């Protein structure tokens, strides 16, 4: 039996209707931007395995650090105990984060980092004796699949089975070009009409919505409106963090800073599941009290796992090397070059680039759904051609590991162009 056949017997995959889905491809090894399946077919990982892998697969530098940590202290409980890797992660992260971020809280994945941020926002006001229970989020947002994260997410088929069971969330339009004023006005109105605790957003790029982009000036305004009204702001940088937008964080483009940030995905260089929520000192102080009930009663068994921390530390180091910073610039320039070329194609309606992220929309007849037929045709074409790309409806995006070579990038561009011809 092949791995793929055995898989069907035992495994339940994410976002998969097993009755109609194609069987999964069994990957047996990876190196750099490349992956190989059980038949030794080679693939270029053009989406960094769901945006987690900036430095390439099976990275030796990170692996050695992980091994060293595993054979020194693999794990210890974080309730009542602490350890150097966690402290070092905090020290290093503070150097990278906006200056107002002073406290960090560990969890295991992007959804839980959001869950923590939303719970903290709600309890912040509870602790102060103020009734503020509504969360503001963007239309088409994606913040994860746990309950509060799902409530904040606006992509309907992820959440429709659970309607009516959520915390209160109100949505405002994304301030894409031409919609800025509508977004500002709606935010002001929502704040007037509801007891709003916090505004959560994916800064500059909405990943799961199909790399929808908007300008930093617009985000800056939205944060300012929240600030003027004492509404907390949560920047969900789970996708955008650690270089994807060309800067370490998308928030680095924005003069106004958020009150909280959510980090995961590339945090450990795509090796060990870990997440962090970061806070201002002011938020921490709303929980700091003689009264035990004001504490944050939230935690995960693997909180601040030292092995994950070692991987994160190695990743911070790699990201800051001149070589890696040069890669960010190089990928951006290549993307811009391809954009100039492909935007003239008669079947391409829009293109967008920010940092290492490239996206284009293909002209469609009628409505094309998230997992529709054009999407399936495109996906299969990419796989046949040895490229891992997961289109979102008629949107094709590229978000490669930063160590991808120019030749590999060129191959991706060539296959993308052929795919546009094909559909």
Which residues participate in the annotated binding site for pyridoxal 5'-phosphate?
Answer: 110-111, 236, 300-301
Instruction: Report the residue number, 37 or 140, with the smaller CB distance to ligand PLP.
Output: 140
Distance CA 91, CA 375 (A): 43
Q: Calculate helix-pair angle for 216-228, 180-193, nearest 10 degrees.
A: 20
- Min dist CB 317 to ligand PLP, Å, is 23
3-state secondary structure of 311: helix
**Buried b or exposed e, range 113-130, using 16+ CB within 10 angstroms:** bbbbbbbbbbbbbbbeee
3-state secondary structure of 273: coil
Asked if 239 touches ligand PLP (CB under 6 A), the answer is: yes
3-state secondary structure of 412: helix
Asked if 142 touches ligand PLP (CB under 6 A), the answer is: yes
Instruction: Report the residue number, 30 or 144, with the smaller CB distance to ligand PLP.
Output: 144
- Min dist CB 303 to ligand PLP, Å, is 15
Binds ligand PLP by CB under 6 A, chosen from 107, 109, 183, 351? 109
Distance CA 74, CA 67 (A): 9
Tokens linked to 192: 């007037």
Distance CA 77, CA 302 (A): 7
Binds ligand PLP by CB under 6 A, chosen from 54, 144, 154, 401? 144
Binds ligand PLP by CB under 6 A, chosen from 115, 140, 180, 202? 202
Asked if 236 touches ligand PLP (CB under 6 A), the answer is: yes
Site for ligand PLP in 275-314 (CB under 6 A): none
Asked if 399 touches ligand PLP (CB under 6 A), the answer is: no
3-state secondary structure of 158: helix
**Buried b or exposed e, range 356-371, using 16+ CB within 10 angstroms:** bbbbbbbeeeeebebb
Binding segment (CB under 6 A) for ligand PLP, from list 60-68, 103-111, 242-250, 364-372: 103-111
- Min dist CB 146 to ligand PLP, Å, is 7
Asked if 238 touches ligand PLP (CB under 6 A), the answer is: yes
- Min dist CB 372 to ligand PLP, Å, is 21
First to last CA, the chain: 34
Asked if 114 touches ligand PLP (CB under 6 A), the answer is: yes
Binding segment (CB under 6 A) for ligand PLP, from list 27-35, 89-97, 140-148, 244-252: 140-148
Distance CA 45, CA 33 (A): 5
Asked if 111 touches ligand PLP (CB under 6 A), the answer is: yes
- Min dist CB 384 to ligand PLP, Å, is 27
- Count the residues of the shown chain that bind ligand PLP, applying the rule CB under 6 A: 14
Distance CA 398, CA 102 (A): 33
Residue nearest to ligand PLP (CB): 110
Instruction: Report the residue number, 123 or 268, with the smaller CB distance to ligand PLP.
Output: 268
Report how far Cα 284 is from the mean position of its chain's Cα atoms.
Answer: 24
Q: Which long-range contacts (CB under 8 A, 24 or more apart) does 70-73 make?
A: 70/307, 72/306, 73/306
Alpha helices in 108-215 (DSSP H): 110-127, 147-152, 156-159, 180-193
Would you state the torsion angle of the CA atoms of residues 72, 267, 302, 287, taken in this order, to the nearest 10 degrees?
A: 120
Binds ligand PLP by CB under 6 A, chosen from 59, 264, 278, 307? 264
Binding site as annotated, residues? 50, 110-111, 236, 265, 299-301, 390
- Min dist CB 109 to ligand PLP, Å, is 4
Binding segment (CB under 6 A) for ligand PLP, from list 137-145, 178-186, 386-394, 414-422: 137-145
Distance CA 66, CA 78 (A): 19
- Min dist CB 237 to ligand PLP, Å, is 7
Tell me which residues touch ligand PLP (CB under 6 A): 109-111, 114, 142-144, 202, 207-208, 236, 238-239, 264
């Amino acid at each position: 039996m092949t791995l793929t056949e055995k898989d069907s017997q035992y495994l339940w995959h994410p976002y998969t209707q097993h009755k109609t889905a194609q069987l999964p491809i069994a990957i047996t090894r990876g190196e750099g931007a490349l992956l190989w399946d059980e038949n030794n077919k080679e693939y270029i990982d053009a989406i960094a395995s769901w945006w987690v892998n900036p430095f390439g697969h099976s990275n030796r530098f990170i692996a050695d650090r992980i091994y060293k940590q595993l054979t020194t202290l693999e794990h210890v409980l974080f309730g009542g105990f602490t350890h150097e890797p966690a402290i070092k992660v905090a020290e290093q992260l503070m150097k990278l984060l906006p200056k107002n971020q002073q406290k960090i809280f560990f969890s295991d994945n992007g959804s839980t980092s959001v869950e923590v941020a939303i719970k903290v926002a709600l309890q912040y006001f509870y602790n102060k004796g103020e009734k503020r229970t509504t969360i503001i989020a963007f239309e088409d947002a994606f913040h994860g699949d746990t309950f509060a994260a799902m409530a904040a997410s606006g992509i309907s088929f992820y959440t429709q089975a659970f309607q009516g069971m959520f915390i209160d969330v109100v949505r405002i339009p994304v301030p894409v070009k031409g919609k800025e004023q509508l977004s500002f006005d709606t935010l002001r109105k929502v704040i007037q009409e509801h007891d709003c605790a916090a505004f959560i957003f994916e800064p500059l790029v909405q990943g799961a919505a199909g790399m929808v982009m908007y300008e930093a000036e617009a985000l800056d305004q939205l944060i300012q409106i929240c600030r003027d009204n004492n509404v907390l702001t949560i920047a969900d940088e789970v996708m955008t963090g650690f270089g994807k937008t060309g800067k370490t964080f998308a928030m680095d483009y924005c003069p106004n800073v958020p009150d909280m940030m959510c980090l995961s995905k590339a945090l450990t260089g795509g090796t060990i599941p870990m997440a962090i929520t970061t806070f201002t000192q002011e938020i921490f102080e709303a929980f700091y009290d003689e009264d035990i009930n004001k504490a944050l009663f939230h935690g995960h068994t693997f909180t601040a796992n030292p092995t994950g921390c070692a991987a994160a530390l190695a990743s911070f180091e790699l990201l800051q090397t001149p070589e890696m910073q040069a890669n960010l610039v190089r990928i951006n320039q290549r993307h811009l070059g391809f954009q100039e070329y492909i935007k003239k194609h008669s079947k391409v309606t829009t293109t967008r680039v920010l940092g290492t992220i490239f996206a284009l929309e293909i002209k469609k007849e009628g409505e094309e759904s998230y997992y529709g037929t054009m999407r399936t045709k495109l996906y299969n074409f990419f796989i046949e051609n040895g490229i891992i790309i997961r289109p979102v409806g008629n949107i094709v995006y590229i978000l490669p590991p930063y160590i991808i070579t120019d030749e590999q990038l060129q191959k991706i561009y060539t296959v993308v162009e052929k795919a546009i011809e094909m559909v």
